[in-house]
Amino acid sequence: MHIAFIGTGNMGLPMLANLLKKGFSATLDRAVAQGAARAASPAEAAAAGEMVITILPSSGNVEAAYLGAGGILEGVAAGRLCIDMSTIDPGTSQRVAARLAERGVRFVDAPVSGGVGGATAGTLAIMVGGAAGDFAEAKPALDAMGTNIIHVGAVGAGEVAKLCNNLIAGAAFVAVSEAFRIAEAFGVDPKILTAVIAKSSGATWVMEKNHPVPGIDPASAANRDYAPGFMTDLMAKDLGLAVNAAREKRVPVAVAAAAQQIYRMASAHGLGRKDCASVYQFLAPSKDEAPV
Amino acid sequence: MHIAFIGTGNMGLPMLANLLKKGFSATLDRAVAQGAARAASPAEAAAAGEMVITILPSSGNVEAAYLGAGGILEGVAAGRLCIDMSTIDPGTSQRVAARLAERGVRFVDAPVSGGVGGATAGTLAIMVGGAAGDFAEAKPALDAMGTNIIHVGAVGAGEVAKLCNNLIAGAAFVAVSEAFRIAEAFGVDPKILTAVIAKSSGATWVMEKNHPVPGIDPASAANRDYAPGFMTDLMAKDLGLAVNAAREKRVPVAVAAAAQQIYRMASAHGLGRKDCASVYQFLAPSKDEAPV
Amino acid sequence: MHIAFIGTGNMGLPMLANLLKKGFSATLDRAVAQGAARAASPAEAAAAGEMVITILPSSGNVEAAYLGAGGILEGVAAGRLCIDMSTIDPGTSQRVAARLAERGVRFVDAPVSGGVGGATAGTLAIMVGGAAGDFAEAKPALDAMGTNIIHVGAVGAGEVAKLCNNLIAGAAFVAVSEAFRIAEAFGVDPKILTAVIAKSSGATWVMEKNHPVPGIDPASAANRDYAPGFMTDLMAKDLGLAVNAAREKRVPVAVAAAAQQIYRMASAHGLGRKDCASVYQFLAPSKDEAPV
Amino acid sequence: MHIAFIGTGNMGLPMLANLLKKGFSATLDRAVAQGAARAASPAEAAAAGEMVITILPSSGNVEAAYLGAGGILEGVAAGRLCIDMSTIDPGTSQRVAARLAERGVRFVDAPVSGGVGGATAGTLAIMVGGAAGDFAEAKPALDAMGTNIIHVGAVGAGEVAKLCNNLIAGAAFVAVSEAFRIAEAFGVDPKILTAVIAKSSGATWVMEKNHPVPGIDPASAANRDYAPGFMTDLMAKDLGLAVNAAREKRVPVAVAAAAQQIYRMASAHGLGRKDCASVYQFLAPSKDEAPV
């Protein structure tokens, strides 16, 4: 199958490589690598493909690539399937899908997790939102790029699943960091505290699999100077999308909003490209002489 | 052993009953039940006991009972051990311990979890802060009241462990509730989302053991109209203590502080005596016609 | 001058009436009142006007009206000036302006404040973002609708000014309410506290002009059961836009984000159509028996 | 009149100097300056004075000085008046007052504002909580130290007034900083924005008298590299006291809590001894390349 592939960044490029390895062919919308053809615009690329795959940095990029001047909507044939693998607002996914549907074009959202490592190894987790038939049609291409492909629900549901998961994980990284900063200030041994919490109601994947405090879990980012892993900047982005999705649907989200701003500040204070567990570093206390 | 037992409320009374059942005797500081003797004041009760046990509602109550007029400090003999099982500020524990130490009296903090059910069944979890020898001396009495007795560290460490665990759990209940409110607003099936998150970085004890959304886990409080379990009011209290402990030590705690205020608001809006998972109810969205 | 007027809601209708009164004529995009002509679509309306004015509820509506199928961009002649008076994301204003500019169409953002009362009386405050020449060209029409017309800066600056002002006012309503709830809990007379704060660093327009506590200022919304004035729902919307604008520009905004969520919750708990000062009602304390 | 003066720190020392200048004499609780006598303990100092004045860094210090071993309560004669000029929890003021009252000793809380400059010049603002007769009795001594002496209400009301004012001012500094960071990111001229907001609902003392953005008001701390003025660390302390006072009374305070944590973080990131307006510096955005 020939694919129009839009978005050959850090993630898109190795994902494309896996598609080509598995026998797909592709037309790209810009400077070409790896034996794929080149088009002048998303519209032209879309016209050349039997299926369209996009993976772009932001909601605005996705809207522009699909609906803007020279965009996919101008070139894609009725009946085609578009797979957007970007992490964006689910509301944007639904709006783009609705505009495409007016012209008989189908759309699924299929954001990924697993990072550049997973993209290269072809082991991404992919959460998919769309009609059952469209999911089935997308599956072979997704199988070329990932190993854990889940059909979550209708269009937008893939984004919702990713953002909701990261909302909880992002809040948990901050909460765990706050808890251990308090414990440290009172002189409590973080290893003993870890053992206590692990068996109680505070147990989380975050503490178990990527403990933010250095010196506890040899495998965690904290023990390699917070080399990512999942970057603070991406956690800030995903929490921002979650909070914005909540805004669009009038859902109050106080903890997610607080966590979002903490990652934004941690990014602004130099931790953007560190693992998101470095929020523990950001949450250092004031010096002892500060009045309380 | 004869114990001075101060604080015969909802928790203290069944805990006392278990002590008496296991062969301890007791003097109380007020109207007496279950064959225990009665004293006119904490000082008088303390004078009568070989060991002092206190379980009181607040930091202020503990300070008054130990250090106030007619308080334990006035009656207790040098060399005695005091066990405070209240959930209070670890800073208060340390201040009371320091004042007692000036007179040669020993102190451990030993807050409990498990609720009235665990107090009655004698199956409480008890987190203890204090010297190793004092922990060993306290152990037989604690064994009469609980089944999971952990020595966390020096004085205050028991409180720290409890508050830090509840900080994470409290934040997680809010974060999970926010995530599922968003998902619901986008029409995503909460059962499928639960399955996705359970295997990803958002996995928490909270979602696994006491899912805040009704209709998912038959055993959760959400499926019995949020009958507690662990009340919203107590979560508000514990998060308040955690945030205050952070304040005393100059630790920034944005997510804990946001979560604390949410439980406070949920309490003010009628959910104080429901299970803390009812924060999901509090976080209902605005009606569809509200502008965004 | 003949105007294409898109958006005849609660605000738009009286604004249009003032334009007609001052001698402008208009074509609308839907069912017609007051002697204006009717078009089948924004595109058709735009084609009929020498100038385009839009006032719509949300960023999505504005994007659709300008850039969607049958939108203004399809009908408007090169060289025309479009005035968007909606309160929306400044980023959306800038994106729409950029798309129009590609076709030689000019755009200013000109959000209003003053509510339905100001719209009817023709006394709106209007904050304008756009080129100086475009502002000058827009001025006569704006003068027909408002009395305080300010040129703030380039495209988007009108929205920024409105949102930034409301960010501060919205945070202040919450902060003032929190302060007076605390004072009340300690038995302090709110009138005396008002006098103290009015002369100190806590002085704000909010406390001076629309005191959220009943019984202090006879002219405030609090003394007419929080009849608006400026509705909670609109404050929630504007703070949401401000926080989202911050997100787009990577600016951390912890207080704005906390305030946004409080208005969202107040709306969800029945105060959406009350004056935003009713956030004081929302922030009632828990009952006295709740543990602390 | 002979005064027992407890607390000769940065604030207390110049305040004491003004008392001595105005003809009061004093006994201090430690190493003596300026012709005042020296006592071995607060109790001994209190025994020597016709009136007791305390000004100490924290609630814990005040409790210890009044109620601890060798504390004022042990030395002060029945009928005496104690004036606590510390900035502390109003709940602590009330608890100390109640304990003193048991022994017939009177208490007023009288926190100050005006900083070391005001203390030296004798121009402090002093907010007083206590009985009318006690206020009248305290007035001559307070007049020696300040120029704006206000009787706010019963015991605790002085602290409440100070904390509530600073709650609003502290939240406003953050909100104004957030607003101007957003405006800056969109390229809006901060001087024009200042002019717009000054006449609208966002007007605050904070923006008018100590604008946090450099380059706007020559007199503001922002234009002298944030030299204080009122330090970030003190704002963090006062907001912490306000949030803790709210906690004791079960009042929800989301904006105050968010602002408190921002000052705590700003302090931890090196701005503790800068003017609190430097929170604007702390709220710098992430670099442009960060994903959104």
- Residues C172-197: what's their mean pLDDT? 98
Distance from CA of C218 to the nearest CA of B (A): 28
pLDDT for position D29:
79
Please list every residue in chain B whose beta carbon sits closer than 8 Å to the beta carbon of residue D258. 254, 257-258
Q: What are phi and psi of A150, to 5 degrees?
A: -120, 130
Lowest mean pLDDT of A44-58, C21-35, D276-290, name the range: C21-35
- Residues B12-36: what's their mean pLDDT? 83
Task: Flag if A286 and D264 touch (Cβ within 8 Å).
Answer: yes
Hey, what amino acid is at A87? Answer: T
pLDDT for position A284:
98
Task: Flag if B125 and A200 touch (Cβ within 8 Å).
Answer: yes
Chain A's closest residue to D233, CA to CA, is A290
- C-alpha dihedral sign at C251, C252, C256, C258: positive
Q: Do C263 and C232 meet the contact criterion of CB atoms below 8 Å apart?
A: yes
Residue A287 tokens, joined? 């010096």
Which of C140, C122, C159 lies closest to C245, judged by CA? C159
Q: What are phi and psi of D61, to 5 degrees?
A: -60, -40
Give D137-187 pLDDT, tens digit per residue.
999 999 999 999 999 999 999 999 999 999 999 999 999 999 999 999 999
Interface test with C, best of A102, A243, A282 (most C CBs within 10 A): A243
Please list every residue in chain B whose beta carbon sits closer than 8 Å to the beta carbon of residue C58. 291-292
Examine the pLDDT at B32 and tell me if it is beyond 90.
Answer: no
For residue D91, whether the previous peptide bond is cis, meaning omega lies within 30 degrees of 0, is no
Taking CA atoms, B148 is separated from B51, B125, B127, B166, in Å, by 21, 5, 8, 17
Interface residues of C toward A, Cβ cutoff 8 Å, are 60, 67-69, 95, 99, 102, 240, 243-244, 247, 250-254, 257-258, 260-261, 264-265, 267-268
Give the one of B244, B250, B258 whose C-beta lies nearest to D244's C-beta: B244
Q: Do C55 and C7 meet the contact criterion of CB atoms below 8 Å apart?
A: yes
Residue A215 CB burial class (10 angstroms; 0-12, 13-18, ≥19): exposed
pLDDT band at D17 (very low <50, low <70, confident <90, very high): very high
Chain D's closest residue to A60, CA to CA, is D292
Task: Flag if C272 and B292 touch (Cβ within 8 Å).
Answer: no
pLDDT band at C33 (very low <50, low <70, confident <90, very high): low
Q: Is the pTM here over 0.90, yes or no?
A: yes
Rounded distance, CA D124 to CA D143, Å?
9
pLDDT band at C68 (very low <50, low <70, confident <90, very high): confident
Examine the pLDDT at B35 and tell me if it is beyond 80.
Answer: no
Please list every residue in chain C whose beta carbon sits closer than 8 Å to the beta carbon of residue D164. 179-180, 182-183, 188, 193, 197, 202
Question: Could you tell me which chains touch chain D, where touching means 3 or more CB pairs under 8 A?
Answer: A, B, C
pLDDT for position D68:
81
Task: Flag if B290 and A250 touch (Cβ within 8 Å).
Answer: yes
Distance from CA of A53 to the nearest CA of D (A): 20
Mean pLDDT for chain B? Answer: 94
Q: Do C192 and C142 meet the contact criterion of CB atoms below 8 Å apart?
A: no
pLDDT for position D120:
93
Examine the pLDDT at B33 and tell me if it is beyond 70.
Answer: no
Q: Do A202 and B205 meet the contact criterion of CB atoms below 8 Å apart?
A: yes
Q: Do A51 and A3 meet the contact criterion of CB atoms below 8 Å apart?
A: yes
pLDDT for position B34:
59
Distance from CA of D287 to the nearest CA of A (A): 7
Distance from CA of A25 to the nearest CA of B (A): 31
Chain D's closest residue to B100, CA to CA, is D69
Task: Flag if B268 and C291 touch (Cβ within 8 Å).
Answer: no
Instruction: Give the count of Cβ contacts less than 8 A between chain B and D.
Output: 55
pLDDT for position A289:
86
Count of other CB atoms within 10 angstroms of residue A192: 16
pLDDT band at A225 (very low <50, low <70, confident <90, very high): very high
* Share of residues in chain B with pLDDT > 70 (%): 98
Interface test with B, best of D261, D263, D265, D282 (most B CBs within 10 A): D261
Please list every residue in chain C whose beta carbon sits closer than 8 Å to the beta carbon of residue B267. 286, 290
Residue C143 CB burial class (10 angstroms; 0-12, 13-18, ≥19): middle
pLDDT for position D213:
98
Question: Could you tell me which chains touch chain B, where touching means 3 or more CB pairs under 8 A?
Answer: A, C, D
Task: Flag if B250 and D243 touch (Cβ within 8 Å).
Answer: no
Task: Flag if C286 and B258 touch (Cβ within 8 Å).
Answer: no
Q: What are phi and psi of C53, to 5 degrees?
A: -120, 130
